A and B are shown apart, each in its own frame.
Chain A
């Protein structure tokens, strides 16, 4: 019986704890059912209920693009009015911004850190407007016939707007084949979106860094959603639209926390097997871990210094390219810095933003001017840490009136003050400021600027997600700049740590001394005993 007890005690004391530890540490088998269901849902191809090539009204020989819109609206009777209110056409949104009240802001009137703004340059910029004929302030935003339906719905990939045409395509000979194009009309493809959203800022990947032409052909290693060897999703699979209002926000132009697109809509709030990862979502956006780098294929512009523009060689403008072929200087634009495989910077963001307006004063005491401001902090329940591209640069400003300068950059011909043609600042500034009805003191300089662009695309495969230690580390972690909260593994109280270590050292020293005296005393006793 006693032997039996010993065996039981042995089991309880040694084997049972080991068993418990083993069971506790056992990894549960991966359960991918949620992801598999999503994957199974996407290959279902959208079957259009209409074959536009069978529509007689679309087979005419169009000489005027407005007539195309009229033809579209003859069937889709209510879509025109719908479009008039969409951001793709109006280029502004109604938004309440604390401190400003109700505002109407958008690409139409906002600044950006690239070409400063569209005003006075409409003829060129409106190549990316979903409309026809926005050449000047006189453009009629209330006329549905000014809408360009084709630019988004062409499924042949052959439609193109003319350069410097204020949004018009070339018509007739040398123009696109409208019979084929109108016959193909359907849901937008990624190519349609990409024509503007990939090429914005003057070239491929210049602006966003996470949106570029390579996404059309790249694999899952670049973008896990759009990868041709994966789900091969289209932009509109996520950026769905109701009455032409697309889901998703870009905070270079948006200000409010609504109609945002979130990963959770498909992936739910519990996408991970490990609860602790799901729990991170209280404070950390999915993108923060799942987009470890952006600009994975082609470089993106990180810095744009307008102050060096207008330099000439032999009386002419010139450009310099680096070894990879990136333009690092252009007389018409200034100096650039390009980067590839960029590690994002991070910020707290609650979905609301403010923007520096043309009428706002420049604060020259600050190290740099924020073109846009993303609101958020740790204590704010709606804030999460997001990854962003920070685009830095130098923009012209009026040193007396202390406002950012909107220069005239583009015109069809030389001699009208366009910077890109005449390479002369003063005239370009005068023309531009006159266009926006702003005074110009005659004195300008350049001010350092930053623009914050949340990174949402080029989501990596899960195995490449940011690992714990990249943030939970003492020094140089990814979140080193976000200091308004305590993060285990990164933060500590130095005094507490020093005191704690001292306590341990003193305890140990005390033990050593005590033990030494004990040993010596016992030896002496033993010697005395022998004597």
Chain B
């Protein structure tokens, strides 16, 4: 019944992007919440400096990632679908405890299950842009211009600051759940290994040729024994 095949799921850039993004989000969170006076760690000044530099790193990384998504067509991975959405939710809430099979089969053409599609799309289209834009406004509501410092017409930083704070909490919640969901692959570590090495055991046959739509039904087993 087992039809496993080692497949190269995550390309080099994808992994490079993923891990750097992880590192940067970690740095931004640590320093950001210190700037928010949630705790003392590096010192306010150092925290601000690192936060601003990491923010630039993040923006540069995003630009490369956007380019990569469009040139490789990988952006299609995030097209939302309602198909199996409920099944996927049921899996996480019930099936997973009974060792039931994943309702959505991971393939090269569809690496993300319907829930992941929704969440990652929200992250990419809503949360991250909001964080980047509010962050840039934070940085540039006053800026050097010629021999003096100019300022854009902002009467109050508060709304920007609060949006940035709310976004930070949202990203943190995502990271928490994301870290946990790593363990819900075929084995506890298979997702992690895949994101490190790029290779993952995928169910089904002829993965490369498989069409997105007729995979779910073919799922017959899993490799967790």
Question: With an 8 A cutoff between CB atoms, is A474 at the interface?
Answer: yes
Q: Which of A462-521 touch B at CB < 8 Å? A: 467-469, 472-474, 485-493, 496-497, 499-501, 503-504, 507-508, 510-511, 514-515, 517-518, 521
Question: With an 8 A cutoff between CB atoms, is B99 at the interface?
Answer: yes
B residues near A13, Cβ cutoff 8 Å:
15-16, 19-20
A residues near B77, Cβ cutoff 8 Å:
none
Cβ–Cβ contact B16 & A12, under 8 A: yes
Q: Which of B7-38 touch A at CB < 8 Å? A: 12, 15-16, 19-20, 23, 35-37
Cβ–Cβ contact B149 & A486, under 8 A: no
Residue of A381, A468, A504, A510 touching B48 (CB-CB under 8 A): A468
Question: With an 8 A cutoff between CB atoms, is A379 at the interface?
Answer: yes
Complex: chain B residue closest to A495, CB-CB? B162
Chain B CB within 10 A, most for which of A269, A378, A379:
A269
- 1/0 per residue B126-152: CB within 8 Å of A? 000000000000100011100111010
Taking the closest CB of chain A, its distance from the CB of B61, in whole angstroms, is 9
Question: With an 8 A cutoff between CB atoms, is A50 at the interface?
Answer: no
A-B contact count (CB 8 A): 120
Cβ–Cβ contact A493 & B165, under 8 A: yes
Question: With an 8 A cutoff between CB atoms, is A266 at the interface?
Answer: no
Cβ–Cβ contact A20 & B155, under 8 A: no
Question: With an 8 A cutoff between CB atoms, is A282 at the interface?
Answer: yes
Cβ–Cβ contact A472 & B37, under 8 A: yes
Question: With an 8 A cutoff between CB atoms, is A104 at the interface?
Answer: no
Bound form: Cα–Cα A379–B48 in Å: 24
- Known contacts A13-B19, A507-B177, A521-B97: does B149 contact A281 (CB below 8 Å)? yes
Taking the closest CB of chain B, its distance from the CB of A358, in whole angstroms, is 38
Cβ–Cβ contact A381 & B151, under 8 A: yes
- 1/0 per residue A127-151: CB within 8 Å of B? 0000000000000000000000000
Question: Main secondary structure on chain B at its contact with chain A?
Answer: helix
Question: With an 8 A cutoff between CB atoms, is B158 at the interface?
Answer: yes
Question: With an 8 A cutoff between CB atoms, is B67 at the interface?
Answer: no
Chain B CB within 10 A, most for which of A12, A487, A500:
A500
- Known contacts A12-B16, A499-B169: does B176 contact A491 (CB below 8 Å)? no
Q: Which of A198-214 touch B at CB < 8 Å? A: none
Bound form: Cα–Cα A527–B172 in Å: 37
Question: With an 8 A cutoff between CB atoms, is A525 at the interface?
Answer: yes
Question: With an 8 A cutoff between CB atoms, is B180 at the interface?
Answer: yes
Bound form: Cα–Cα A270–B162 in Å: 30
Question: With an 8 A cutoff between CB atoms, is A25 at the interface?
Answer: yes
Stretch at the interface among A67-75, A272-280, A309-317: A272-280
A residues near B43, Cβ cutoff 8 Å:
469
Residue of A282, A379, A473, A518 touching B97 (CB-CB under 8 A): A518
Stretch at the interface among B49-57, B79-87, B199-207, B211-219: B49-57
Question: With an 8 A cutoff between CB atoms, is B156 at the interface?
Answer: yes
Q: Which of A1-42 touch B at CB < 8 Å? A: 9, 12-13, 17, 20-21, 24-25
Q: Which of B149-187 touch A at CB < 8 Å? A: 149, 151, 155-158, 161-162, 165-166, 168-170, 172-173, 176-177, 180, 183
Residue of A275, A379, A497 touching B144 (CB-CB under 8 A): A275
Cβ–Cβ contact A500 & B142, under 8 A: no
- 1/0 per residue B72-99: CB within 8 Å of A? 0000000000000000000010001111
**How many interface residues does B have (CB within 8 Å)?**
49
Bound form: Cα–Cα A490–B158 in Å: 12
Bound form: Cα–Cα A508–B169 in Å: 13
Cβ–Cβ contact B99 & A521, under 8 A: yes
Bound form: Cα–Cα A299–B143 in Å: 40
Question: With an 8 A cutoff between CB atoms, is A522 at the interface?
Answer: yes
Bound form: Cα–Cα A269–B151 in Å: 14
Complex: chain A residue closest to B161, CB-CB? A486
Q: Which of B39-69 touch A at CB < 8 Å? A: 43-45, 48-50, 52-53, 56-57
- 1/0 per residue B83-117: CB within 8 Å of A? 00000000010001111000000000000000000
Taking the closest CB of chain B, its distance from the CB of A158, in whole angstroms, is 45
A residues near B23, Cβ cutoff 8 Å:
17
Cβ–Cβ contact A488 & B36, under 8 A: yes
- Known contacts A24-B57, A496-B162: does B173 contact A503 (CB below 8 Å)? yes
Q: Which of A394-441 touch B at CB < 8 Å? A: none
Question: With an 8 A cutoff between CB atoms, is A268 at the interface?
Answer: yes
Bound form: Cα–Cα A473–B36 in Å: 9
Bound form: Cα–Cα A490–B161 in Å: 12
Complex: chain B residue closest to A503, CB-CB? B173
Bound form: Cα–Cα A24–B57 in Å: 9
B residues near A278, Cβ cutoff 8 Å:
144, 149
Cβ–Cβ contact B35 & A488, under 8 A: yes
Cβ–Cβ contact B44 & A489, under 8 A: yes
Complex: chain B residue closest to A486, CB-CB? B158
- 1/0 per residue A347-391: CB within 8 Å of B? 000000000000000000000000000000011010000000000
Taking the closest CB of chain B, its distance from the CB of A368, in whole angstroms, is 29
A residues near B56, Cβ cutoff 8 Å:
24
Bound form: Cα–Cα A270–B147 in Å: 7
Bound form: Cα–Cα A9–B19 in Å: 12
Residue of B37, B98, B180 touching A521 (CB-CB under 8 A): B98
Bound form: Cα–Cα A275–B20 in Å: 26
Taking the closest CB of chain B, its distance from the CB of A383, in whole angstroms, is 12
Bound form: Cα–Cα A288–B183 in Å: 53
- Known contacts A504-B172, A511-B176: does B166 contact A25 (CB below 8 Å)? no
Cβ–Cβ contact B48 & A491, under 8 A: no
B residues near A283, Cβ cutoff 8 Å:
142
B residues near A21, Cβ cutoff 8 Å:
57
Taking the closest CB of chain B, its distance from the CB of A149, in whole angstroms, is 39
Complex: chain A residue closest to B172, CB-CB? A504
Bound form: Cα–Cα A266–B138 in Å: 29
Taking the closest CB of chain A, its distance from the CB of B72, in whole angstroms, is 17
Cβ–Cβ contact A474 & B37, under 8 A: yes
B residues near A493, Cβ cutoff 8 Å:
162, 165
Bound form: Cα–Cα A473–B37 in Å: 7
- 1/0 per residue A261-299: CB within 8 Å of B? 000000011100001101101110000000000000000
Show 19 residue pairs from A and B whose CB-CB distance is below 8 angstroms, ordered by the A residue: A9-B12, A13-B19, A20-B57, A268-B147, A276-B49, A283-B142, A485-B157, A486-B156, A489-B44, A492-B36, A492-B37, A496-B162, A496-B165, A496-B169, A500-B165, A501-B169, A504-B169, A511-B176, A521-B97
| 9 more CB-based (< 8 A) A-B contacts, given A9-B12, A270-B144 | A282-B149, A469-B45, A474-B37, A486-B156, A491-B158, A493-B162, A500-B165, A514-B92, A518-B96
